[in-house]
């Protein structure tokens, strides 16, 4: 019989794969399978936390990061969610998605302490990314795939199991990033990594047609500039591939179904970039719709600001969970509950108090990630460096997307985000525990001090 720790490891990896590949549909899988059932992510979260020595886990986490902002975020946020649920029922807990999913920091931290987990995660991640990219190639045929797909009964409507691509563009960019930073050898696949990265970027830019893609590429480029300049040269070398792909589409007059249009031209890309700033309302067509979305979001944010600043108490503690933050209805006539900006969602729900704790927590995550990365670099642990770069790259992709979408309120973004940073915190803990042991040994038997890869157990 498999040990409990092995079961948790396998289930966690399966959950992460489900969110990264099937995104919105996978987050609808619940028990019972219809109505107000509990999603798999929350079921496993409860199971993992109940079977974990939480005081010991938090003590160990405190050796890796300053826990005060984490504890304030969890204590205040969960208290607010429970209190609001008495007034608003299920919707208060639904609106507290990011707060609940952030507990995956503890899950990732604990599971990463299992012997060999980091190495296994490093081998597992490229395979899942490859599957997600192959799956993403079906995006131009999204409508046909959804029509033929088996259906799931979501909380509010029926959802097709296949043909959902909300996170796929970011995952394909993440895969391109991996191709650029992965250790190289003399194999054919290794030599094709830069062209593969270029084709993935071209597919996301030209077919997914999301404005945040340009900002995400800029974020990944900045990351490479700081931590892996040799890979930045490879990223720059993918630009001709994107231009060539666009030139071929224009020259051959191809009509490839994209998110906004099937007529892809150089002027479309230029106007699409302009639409980030709300420019292009008068261009007509899909670009006008994208540009108008900026004004719509700004209207939501101004309304939230007016509500928050109505009195000092609300500004400090927020509007709470269980109420929609907009009065806009989508094509399914469902109310849009979040204002398409995770930063504003946090401050709207929990006020300045909650936002300070959340922002401080993010800073702690990235600060301690840097500590782990430097330790791996000093130890010349290439696989550890690569995994940590992949973790921070996903964080950059998510946090950039969160400026224009409610990304962290969606489990398929939030659970991988917090779980992977939990892994990074475990690596920090291992580094600091090893350093503490070395200090003790140095005091007793100085000649036994040595350097090497940290143990995560």
Tokens linked to 10: 């396998």
At residue 336, the pLDDT reads: 87
Q: Which residues contact 363 (CB under 8 A, 6 or more apart)?
A: none
At residue 357, the pLDDT reads: 97
At residue 1, the pLDDT reads: 44
At residue 288, the pLDDT reads: 60
Tokens linked to 215: 């900002």
At residue 155, the pLDDT reads: 65
Q: Helix/strand/coil (H, E, C) string of the chain?
A: CCCHHHHHHHHHHHHHHHHHHHHHHHHCCEECCCCCCEEHHHHHHHHHHHCCCHHHHHHHHHHHCCCHHHHHHHHHHHHHHHHHHHHHCHHHHHHCHHHHHCCHHHHHHHHCCCCCHHHHHHHHHHHHHHHHHHHHCCHHHHHHHHHHCCEEECCCCEEECCCCCCCHHHHHHHHHHHHHHCCCCCCHHHHCHHHHHHHHHHHHHHHHCCCHHHHHHHHHHHHHHHHCHHHHHHHHHCHHHHHHHHHHHHHHCCCCCCCCCCCCCHHHHHHHHHHHHCCCHHHCHHHHHHHHHHHHHHHHHHHHHHHHCCCHHHHHHCCCCCCCCCCCECCCCCECCCCCCHHHHHHHHHHHHHHHHHHHHHHHHHHHHHHHHHHHHHCCCHHHHHHHHHHHHHHHHHHHHCCCCCHHHCHHHHHHHHHHHHHHHHHHHHHHHHHHHHHHHHHHCHHHCCCCCCCCC
Q: Return contacts of 283-288, CB within 8 angstroms, 24+ apart.
A: 285/261, 286/209, 286/260, 286/261, 287/260
At residue 5, the pLDDT reads: 86
Alpha carbon dihedral 241, 246, 251, 255, in 10-degree steps, equals: 130
Tokens linked to 432: 């600091």
Spans of the chain below 70 pLDDT: 1-2, 35, 154-156, 278-292, 438-457
Tokens linked to 448: 């036994």
Give 329-341 pLDDT, tens digit per residue. Answer: 877 777 889 999 9
Report whether 398 contacts 19 (CB < 8 A): no
Q: Domain limits of the chain?
A: 4-448
At residue 358, the pLDDT reads: 98
* Cα gap 239→224, rounded to integer Å: 15
In angstroms, how far is the first alpha carbon of the chain from the final one? 22
* Cα gap 179→235, rounded to integer Å: 10
* Cα gap 450→255, rounded to integer Å: 62
Q: Is the peptide bond before 385 cis (omega within 30 degrees of 0)?
A: no
At residue 302, the pLDDT reads: 93
At residue 454, the pLDDT reads: 62
């Amino acid at each position: 019989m498999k040990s409990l720790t092995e079961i948790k490891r396998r289930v966690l990896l399966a959950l992460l794969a489900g969110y990264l590949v099937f995104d919105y549909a996978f987050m609808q899988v619940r028990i019972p399978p219809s109505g107000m059932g509990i999603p798999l992510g929350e079921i496993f979260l409860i199971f993992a936390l109940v079977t974990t020595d939480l005081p010991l886990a938090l003590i160990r986490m405190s050796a890796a990061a300053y826990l005060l902002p984490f504890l304030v975020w969890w204590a205040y946020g969960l208290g607010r969610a429970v209190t609001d649920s008495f007034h608003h029922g299920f919707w208060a807990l639904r609106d507290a998605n990011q707060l609940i999913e952030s507990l995956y920091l503890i899950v990732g931290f604990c599971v990463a302490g299992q012997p060999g987990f980091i190495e296994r995660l490093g081998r597992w991640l490229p395979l899942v990314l490859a599957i997600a990219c192959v799956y993403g190639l079906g995006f131009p045929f999204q409508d046909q795939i959804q029509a033929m797909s088996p259906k799931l009964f979501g909380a509010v409507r029926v959802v097709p199991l296949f043909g959902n691509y909300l996170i796929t563009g970011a995952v394909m960019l993440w895969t391109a990033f991996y191709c650029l930073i992965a250790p190289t050898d003399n194999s054919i696949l290794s030599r094709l990594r830069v062209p593969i990265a270029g084709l993935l970027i071209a597919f996301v830019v030209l077919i997914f047609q999301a404005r945040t893609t340009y900002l995400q590429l800029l974020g990944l480029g900045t990351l490479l500039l700081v931590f892996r300049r040799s890979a930045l040269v490879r990223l720059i070398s993918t630009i001709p591939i994107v231009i060539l792909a666009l030139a071929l589409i224009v020259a051959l007059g191809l009509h490839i179904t994209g998110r906004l249009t099937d007529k892809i031209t150089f002027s479309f890309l230029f106007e699409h970039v302009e639409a980030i700033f709300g420019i292009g309302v008068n261009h007509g067509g899909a670009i006008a719709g994208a540009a108008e979305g900026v004004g719509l979001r700004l209207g939501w944010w101004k309304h939230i600001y007016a509500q928050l600043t109505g009195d000092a108490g609300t500004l400090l503690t927020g509007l709470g969970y269980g109420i929609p933050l907009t009065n806009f209805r989508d094509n399914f006539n469902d109310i849009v509950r979040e204002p398409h900006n995770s930063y504003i969602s946090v401050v709207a729900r929990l006020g300045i108090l909650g936002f300070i704790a959340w922002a401080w927590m993010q800073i702690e995550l990235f600060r301690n990630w840097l500590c782990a990365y430097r330790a791996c670099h000093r130890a010349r642990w290439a696989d550890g460096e690569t995994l940590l770069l992949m973790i921070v790259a996903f964080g950059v992709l998510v946090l950039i997307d969160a400026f224009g979408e409610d990304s962290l309120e969606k489990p398929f973004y939030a659970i991988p985000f917090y779980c992977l940073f939990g892994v990074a915190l475990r690596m920090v803990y291992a580094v600091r525990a090893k350093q503490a042991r070395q200090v003790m040994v140095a005091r007793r038997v100085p000649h036994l001090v040595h350097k090497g890869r940290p143990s995560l157990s």
